[in-house]
Chains A and B, each alone.
Chain A
Amino acid sequence: MNFHAIRAIYHFEMARTWRTLLQSVISPVISTSLYFVVFGAAIGSRMTAINGVSYGAFIVPGLIMLSLLTQSISNASFGIYFPKFSGTIYEILSAPVSYIEIVAGYVGAAASKSIMLGLIILGTARLFVSFDIAHPLWMIAFLVLTGVTFSLFGFIIGIWADSFEKLQLVPLLIVTPLTFLGGSFYSIHMLPPIWQKVTLFNPVVYLVSGFRWSFYGVSDVSVGISMGMTLVFLALCLIAVWWMFRTGYRLKA
């Protein structure tokens, strides 16, 4: 195992985070605060509690997930796309590193960054509404697993994309709608019966539901299923990455 290489890539990626601190940390915090002002304070005060949780508190896990997903994907996809775009990828490809080490460095950094961000948003939210975390270990587990899984997904998008447009395409057309429709702002039991079934095809439902359970002990689907689906998605991403490196897909001629 080339730990020096993992460390080098990880540090390189994290240096980018610090260099672009404003856009990578501050702007998601500001936009999340805006959500709280609008949905938590302004509209939330007129909403009834859901499963005994006030609406302001109810949306906290969903909002964290929202940022976690979009940030993981954008960090990781940009992290690997940019060297491809600028040509500096030659060095990674010619280095004595295995794809596991490359993934560990890039995905590790992207996940660290988005998990840090999730925790910052959690702290920000605490300023607006009061809530307790019923199962802190599960909360951390969901946070880390989701951060890693979607950073992997972002990494895949970054390898697949051969233009900046494509880099934006998947997050914009697929991930954002799935996240908004994934029960961040509502319980899926509030949907008409047919949509309650359809929405189960949305992987984000399981993430949000499980994550919310770790806060309040209530969920739309059972926490075991949530965890299981998260692991399945993680496995799918790992298989995709393994295939990409094995075939040299969009990396090597």
Chain B
Amino acid sequence: MQSVISVQQLSKTYASGFQALRHIDLEIRKGEIFALLGPNGAGKTTLISIICGIVNPSEGKVLADGHDVVREYRAARSKIGLVPQELTTDAFETVWNTVSFSRGLFGKPANPAYIEKVLKDLSLWNKKDSRLRTLSGGMKRRVMIAKALSHEPQILFLDEPTAGVDVELRRDMWEMVRSLRETGVTIILTTHYIEEAEEMADRIGVISKGELILVEDKAELMNKLGRKQLTLHLQRPLQGVPPSLSDYALELSPDGNELVYTFDTQGDRTGIDVLLRKLGEAGIDFKDLQTSQSSLEDIFVSLVSERP
């Protein structure tokens, strides 16, 4: 698979001495939706800012579509659209002007038909002559996206696109991201909402304390994590797992009061029914049972908290 963004041994130390990124290596594939997850202050925005040219890297390099983002910034940046996290807009400009301005800034000749299409796609067309300060937060977010798309970028960065956005707009935005991907645009989004990554992403990267601790296909990740556990609270403590149940890889809690059965949800047969029957045959009674599924969130939390 061809990579459209290549981050090589990238580090960033701010003037205050704070090390925001440590030796990041990351390849983003052409045409994929890549979700970058991480807690606040993990370095997500710094990483995006370096790729987009807003922050200077301390070490390492980044190629965007084969162009070094520092030395060949012109070629690199003209491929990239950025929707930053904060809603920063020119309060007194109209929607139409601010989006047209962005297109010019990125070196593209005026194209009213294209701007019209972008505004219509984002349900902004009837607001095109409104001044930005009169718009709601959600509308401003749409304007930021329109600005980023105004120059027909091949790579789109969405930094926390759905933070503080209502459910409807979030659905709209997911829809928009998917249709952009259909046209071949590569999308990199950072998010706090793990369900968003679960819903949207092809691949997921987890960043914590400036280090990229995991990059994996979402499907694979969910497969690994798509495990369920059945916990049985027993009437009477057991000394050990009876030999008749040895096929099931059961775990007994140290006090002997709980039996834990881990199974794969992907399988056709989970084996629960047989297990319960065999427990009955073995004379093991239980007073309660519960099942739990590990979500991306659990894994994320354990990944991030594992690290000192």
Q: Which A positions have Cβ atoms within 8 angstroms of B? A: 2, 4-5, 7-9, 11-12, 15-16, 19, 83, 86-88, 90-98, 248, 252-253
Q: Which B positions have Cβ atoms within 8 angstroms of A? A: 14-15, 49, 52-56, 73-78, 80, 82, 84, 86, 88-93, 97, 100-109, 147
Residues of A within 8 A of B14 (CB): 253
- Say yes or no: A98 contacts B74, CB within 8 Å: yes
Question: Looking at the complex, which one of A2, A4, A15, A253 makes contact with B74 (CB distance below 8 Å)?
Answer: A2
Told that A7-B104, A87-B86, A96-B106 touch, could you supply 16 new A-B pairs with CB distance under 8 A?
Answer: A2-B107, A4-B105, A4-B106, A4-B108, A11-B104, A16-B92, A19-B92, A87-B84, A90-B88, A91-B82, A91-B102, A91-B147, A95-B77, A95-B105, A96-B76, A252-B56
In the complex, A86→B132 CA distance in Å?
13
Query: Could you give 6 example pairs across A and B, Cβ below 8 Å?
Result: A12-B97, A88-B90, A94-B77, A97-B105, A98-B74, A248-B56
- Say yes or no: B90 contacts A96, CB within 8 Å: no
- Given the interface contacts A94-B53, A96-B77, A253-B15, does A5 sit within 8 Å of B88 by beta carbon? no
Residues of B within 8 A of A19 (CB): 92
Residues of A within 8 A of B93 (CB): 12, 15
Main secondary structure of the interface of A (DSSP, over half): helix
- Given the interface contacts A252-B54, A252-B56, does A94 sit within 8 Å of B80 by beta carbon? yes
- Say yes or no: B54 contacts A8, CB within 8 Å: no
Residues of A within 8 A of B88 (CB): 86-88, 90
Greatest chain A CB density within 10 A among B55, B73, B86, B88 is at B88
- Given the interface contacts A88-B88, A94-B80, A95-B77, does A4 sit within 8 Å of B107 by beta carbon? yes
CB distance from B45 to the nearest CB of A (A): 11
- Say yes or no: A252 contacts B55, CB within 8 Å: yes
- Say yes or no: B54 contacts A4, CB within 8 Å: no
Question: Looking at the complex, which one of B55, B101, B103 makes contact with A12 (CB distance below 8 Å)?
Answer: B101
CB closest chain-B residue, reference A83: B90
- Given the interface contacts A96-B74, A98-B74, does A4 sit within 8 Å of B104 by beta carbon? yes
Residues of A within 8 A of B76 (CB): 96
Greatest chain A CB density within 10 A among B49, B54, B147 is at B54
CB closest chain-B residue, reference A247: B56
CB distance from A125 to the nearest CB of B (A): 32
CB closest chain-A residue, reference B100: A8
Residues of A within 8 A of B102 (CB): 8, 91
In the complex, A96→B67 CA distance in Å?
12
In the complex, A5→B109 CA distance in Å?
9
- Say yes or no: A90 contacts B105, CB within 8 Å: no
Question: Looking at the complex, which one of A5, A90, A248 makes contact with B104 (CB distance below 8 Å)?
Answer: A5
- Say yes or no: B109 contacts A4, CB within 8 Å: yes
Greatest chain A CB density within 10 A among B55, B73, B101, B102 is at B101
Residues of B within 8 A of A86 (CB): 88-91
CB closest chain-A residue, reference B51: A94
In the complex, A9→B53 CA distance in Å?
18
In the complex, A154→B102 CA distance in Å?
24
Question: Looking at the complex, which one of A4, A11, A88, A94 makes contact with B52 (CB distance below 8 Å)?
Answer: A94
In the complex, A7→B84 CA distance in Å?
24
In the complex, A88→B91 CA distance in Å?
10
Residues of A within 8 A of B104 (CB): 4-5, 7-8, 11
Residues of A within 8 A of B101 (CB): 8, 11-12
In the complex, A83→B107 CA distance in Å?
20
Residues of A within 8 A of B73 (CB): 96
Residues of A within 8 A of B108 (CB): 4
